[in-house]
Amino acid sequence: MDCIFCKIVEGNIPSYKLYEDDKVLVFLDAFPSVYGHTLIIPKEHYKDLDDINSETLNHIMKISKKIKKQIEEKINCDGMSIQQNNGDLQEVKHYHLHLKPFFKVEQPKKSVEEVYEILKK
């Protein structure tokens, strides 16, 4: 399978990991749409919401609450959009949940490396 997220899980492609356990991997989006844009993926390949099992989905949601709080505390955002795409909206065909911080005031541009250092403190 030629899935970029599976390659990240396998360690064949580097990522800025924020959290990992036996079921999920959380890392910064390499091409963020906003400062702090984070992805949560299952380690097992599931195509989309129709494909993923309830146990894994529930675990992802549990971890999303933890990571959401961590991001809010570290970067002081004003809100958070949590998004999951399916079908033609889904760029990578591996289930993933986007956590996208919202800011009332536009933030200065920061590299993924800079954001990683802030979130890992």
List, by residue number, the catalytic residues. Answer: 96
Report yes or no: 13 and 25 within 8 Å, Cβ to Cβ. no
Nearest to 5 by CA among 83, 75, 68, 96: 96
Tokens 């390499």, residue? 30
Give the gyration radius of the chain's Cα atoms: 14
Long-range CB contacts for residues 80-83, cutoff 8 Å, separation at least 24: none
